[in-house]
Amino acid sequence: MKKTEQLYEGKAKKVYATDDDSIVIVSYKDDATALDGLKKGTIAGKGAVNNRMSNYLMRLLEKEGVKTHYVQELNDRETAVKKVKIIPLEVIVRNVSAGSFAKRYGVEEGIIFDEPTFEFSYKNDELHDPLLNESHALALKLATKEEIATIKAMALKVNEVLKAYFLTLGVKLIDFKLEFGRLADGTVVLADEISPDTCRFWDAKTGEKLDKDRFRRDMGGVEEAYNEMMRRVFGN
């Protein structure tokens, strides 16, 4: 598999074409943005942490029957994935109140939900990723009814698998964002990444934040948090 031209550069990743039309290569950067792009910075080593952790979790999910875009890790920062058309929905699952949920509904962070919550945002930077419900997604033709049902079932399955897995590492999975894509034949697969950029992780004993909130909220210890998550997943 040979890398050819760059197709796209996003906030945290670059995507390259390959000599195989069905495969692209994702290259993870150390760049970080937050607060709707207002806050910019770099987190040293983040690209490698997110790449390796995301790949590990995608492989774990595949074993549990969740279809993903994952093909092969090429090196610390680069991974071959199946080419997809991203469905422009940010799919958010929450187990505990935090972030925009706590703010929107005027509640504290840390409330444990009886059942996970499920929500969509419209993935659209110009509109600042507005919250939207299923009927809105259908009206905007972002996905079909069948695709939305598939996405919801897959997202809740991902939550069950990851929640249990992270608990074995002494980490509570508070919430996370997923993105899905369509393969050429229309199959919906899990795409993008699963990492401390896209999940909230709290230490199960101390409640310490081990994710991008340390960057968003200027808490310090950002690199240390990413490295600690790497250590929990892969050992020393």
Give me the residues that bind ligand UDP (CB under 6 A), please.
Answer: 90, 92, 98-101, 129, 175-177, 198-200, 212
C-alpha distances out from residue 169 to 151, 195, 201, 234, Å: 27, 15, 11, 10
Closer CB to ligand UDP, 129 or 228, in the complex: 129
Q: What is the rounded CA–CA span in Å between residue 76 and residue 143?
A: 33
Half-sphere exposure of 25 (CA within 13 A, CB side): 18
Pairing of strands 85-86, 131-132: unpaired
Please, which residue, 3 or 122, has the CB nearer to ligand UDP? 122
Q: Do residues 80 and 71 make contact, with C-beta atoms less than 8 angstroms apart?
A: yes
C-alpha–C-alpha distance, residues 155 and 158, integer Å? 5
- Kindly tell me which of 175 and 228 has the beta carbon lying closer to ligand UDP: 175
Least distance CB 33 / ligand UDP (angstroms) = 9
101 vs 180, which CB is nearer to ligand UDP?
Answer: 101
**Least spacing, CB of residue 216 vs ligand UDP, in Å:** 7
Smallest distance from ligand UDP to CB 177, Å? 3
Instruction: Write down the least CB distance from residue 208 to ligand UDP, Å.
Output: 16
What residue is closest to ligand UDP based on CB? 99
